Amino acid sequence: MTIQLTTEQVWQAIQKELFAVIGMVTAHQEARTVGVVYVVRDHKLYIGTGTDTWITRHIAANPHVSVTIPIAKHIPLLPWVKIPAATITFSGVARVLEAAETPTELLRAVFRGLADDEQFLADSCLIEVTPVKEFITYGVGIPLMQMRYPEKARGRAPADFPTPELER
């Protein structure tokens, strides 16, 4: 039985984290993943990167991505007991935003103190990821001991946004 989570429950969990793994496809149709740090605004993830990085080039060529957010789990007072991370996974559509065209508040949230460095911003951009269809979760919104039972730990919730119509 899959847990029916609300979209808001999933977004609350996403906002508590800051690290994700984003998967994309290269121009040669090879799968690639990279760990990223993100901020959330208006139910979208924003990732800061350089304008010449391979993640920027791959996403500009193919905006379809997958995102997995691991959520560390542990037993209080028993840190040596290994617990698998809970996860939130979703498909998304990404787009590259030039720093010059991005609101200052968002640049400060992503780049912090570097947001006032004009040379840094000239070589930087943001990647905006919009979730589509649904969130697939494991271990979100359940007691730690129930994570041992996959049928109790799996969950789903609708994403807020309809699937954007994109040309393939």
**Residue 128 belongs to a domain with what CATH number?**
2.30.110.10
48-84 residue pLDDT tens: 999 999 999 999 999 999 999 999 988 888 888 888 8
Tokens of 135: 């969130």
Is 40 a domain residue? yes
CB 55 within 8 A of CB 21: no
Is 168 a domain residue? no
pTM for the structure as a whole: 0.88
Is 163 a domain residue? no
Q: How many domains does the chain have?
A: 1
Is 166 a domain residue? no
23-46 residue pLDDT tens: 999 888 899 999 999 999 999 999
For the chain, what is the mean pLDDT? Answer: 90
Is 113 a domain residue? yes
Is 55 a domain residue? yes
Is 106 a domain residue? yes
The DSSP line for the chain is --EE--HHHHHHHHHH--EEEEEEE-TTS-EEEEEEEEEEETTEEEEEEETTSHHHHHHHH--EEEEEEEE---BTTBTTS--PPEEEEEEEEEEEEEGGGS-HHHHHHHHGGGGG-HHHHHTEEEEEEEEEEEEEEESTTS-GGGGG-HHHHEEEEE-SSPPP----
